Amino acid sequence: MEPLTFKHSYKNTLRENLSLTVYNTGYQKCERENSWGPAVRDHYLIHYIESGKGRFTCGDTPYLLGEGDLFCIFPGQIASYIADDEQPWEYFWVGFNGTEAKRLMELTDFSKQTPVLHHKKDERLKQLLLDIYQHSGGQPLNDCQMAGSLYLFLAELIQIRESSHPVIQRHYSSYLEGGMRYIQYNYSDNISVEDIAQYVGISRSHLYRIFRENTGLSPNEYLSNYRINEACSLLRKGKLSINQVASSVGYTDALYFSRVFRKLKGVSPSQYLHACQQERERK
């Protein structure tokens, strides 16, 4: 016979500064009026309600929630929650943080102003959260498996948002940020404006217009500036030759690299390198 209440949970006591780290995870069938808070967390904490009812309060705003709903506590946000007296809820949860957490959460429908999502009961969300818990443990393998399952869970939340908000309604800033991020991660490869546009999911002309309106530069000009600024950083370190620097920032032709460098910086790479060497000698 299944118990009336239960709790299965895992808490990670070693929190490394990774791109995405699971802090805690589990699932629970609560007793009547089982509660937490008011208090704050130092991480994101998402609950998915499998059955029953309860009240979630964020700041001064109470939300009555039930089957299929989700709620999120953001880092540093005062919140509390309590199970219903007659139909106490059963929920699954995951707590997480990391350098990528904020960006990924911004791609979902969650925000500090909208900490609750009213959603139909979804076995997929339940299973994804259960997968995180089932991979829990204190070994590096467990950390990788939990993070992988967490990425899949967040991807599902992003998919839910995109299904309800067509791409054409996305704000320009999300395309700009996506394009800039693609350049940041791939500038050292032989990428093109077409690659950037395809990554963010819009046409080249649309991408051009967004970059010009927000940065004053075309996507190609922005890419060139990013590459040359990275080249300057490498030249200042003085550990690579000019040809090696050119290859490191995505230029297969060293002469073309020199022309672009002179155009943007007003001096050749060799002149810039010589000036850096003189500055180091003065120190």
Beta strands at 54-58 and 79-83: parallel, antiparallel or unpaired = antiparallel
- Look at residue 51 in the predicted model and tell me its pLDDT: 94
**Residue 123 zone, left/alpha/beta (φ > 0; ψ -120 to 50; rest):** alpha
pLDDT at site 7: 62
For residue 11, the model assigns a pLDDT of 63
pLDDT digits (tens, 9 = 90+) for 19-42: 789 999 999 999 999 999 899 999
SS3 22: strand
Q: What is the reported pTM?
A: 0.62
Contact call for residues 232 and 268 (beta carbons, < 8 A): no
User: Residue 166: its pLDDT value, please?
Assistant: 55
Q: In the chain, what is the straight-line distance between the N-terminal and C-terminal CA atoms, in Å? A: 77
Domains and CATH numbers, the chain: 6-165 (2.60.120.280), 170-283 (1.10.10.60)
Instruction: Tell me the C-alpha distance between 46 and 96, whole Å.
Output: 9
Q: Going from the first residue of the chain to its last (283 residues), give the mean pLDDT of each consecutive group of 10, the final group possibly shorter.
A: 60 58 94 93 95 94 95 95 96 92 88 90 92 90 91 92 61 79 92 92 90 89 93 88 94 94 93 84 70
- 117 CB-near residues (< 8 Å, 6+ apart): 69, 70, 71, 109, 110, 160
